[in-house]
Amino acid sequence: MPWLSPLNATSALVFCPVCKAEYREGFTRCSNCDAELVSSLISSEASARAGAPVLAWRGDDPVALSRVLAALQEAQVPSYQIADHDQLAFQPAVPRPRYAIFVRGDDGARAAQLIREALGTRES
């Protein structure tokens, strides 16, 4: 039985299986990661691993970042990006930002193929 909100005991909550956010009944997709909401969270290790984020791409080229994000978005693969702008690094030249893109574990193989195609690289 789903957990009932203390504010309205007749309204059940729904959950994001990826980021575990809670939503009121009536919502269908997570506003954080665009995953379809479920009525209960499954606590098995296998389902947690499938939804756990995995690193899909890392680099310092903003053009490559844009290509990868566009390819994932076009294929409707939910992703999350992190930009590391290390402003305090003591290097002889101006440090370039580093980027990382994460996808759900169960989307990892598909994302890898899309990234190879977007960047024109061969499988190694």
What is the predicted pLDDT for the residue at 7? 46
Please check whether residue 124 lies inside any domain of the structure: no
Q: Are 37 and 15 in contact (CB under 8 A)?
A: yes
Contacts of 41 (CB under 8 A, 6+ apart): 15, 17, 20
What is the predicted pLDDT for the residue at 32? 82
Q: What is the CATH number of the domain that holds 57?
A: 3.30.70.790
- Say if pTM beats, i.e. exceeds, 0.85: no
Tell whether 67 and 19 lie within a shared domain.
Answer: no
The number of folded domains in the chain is: 2
What's the angle, vertex CA 97, arms to CA 114 and CA 31, rounded to 5?
55
Instruction: HSE, CB side, 13 Å, CA atoms: give it for residue 40.
Output: 7
Rounded-to-integer distance, Cα 23 and Cα 37, Å: 8
Mean pLDDT by 10 residues, the chain (124 residues): 43 76 86 83 57 86 93 93 67 70 90 92 56
Please check whether residue 102 lies inside any domain of the structure: yes
For residue 62, the enclosing domain spans 50-119
Own/partner pairs, 41-44, CB within 8 angstroms, 24+ separation: 41/15, 41/17, 42/17
Tell whether 58 and 16 lie within a shared domain.
Answer: no
What is the predicted pLDDT for the residue at 24? 85
Please check whether residue 93 lies inside any domain of the structure: yes
Tell whether 55 and 109 lie within a shared domain.
Answer: yes
Instruction: HSE, CB side, 13 Å, CA atoms: give it for residue 114.
Output: 23
Tokens representing 109?
A: 């193989």
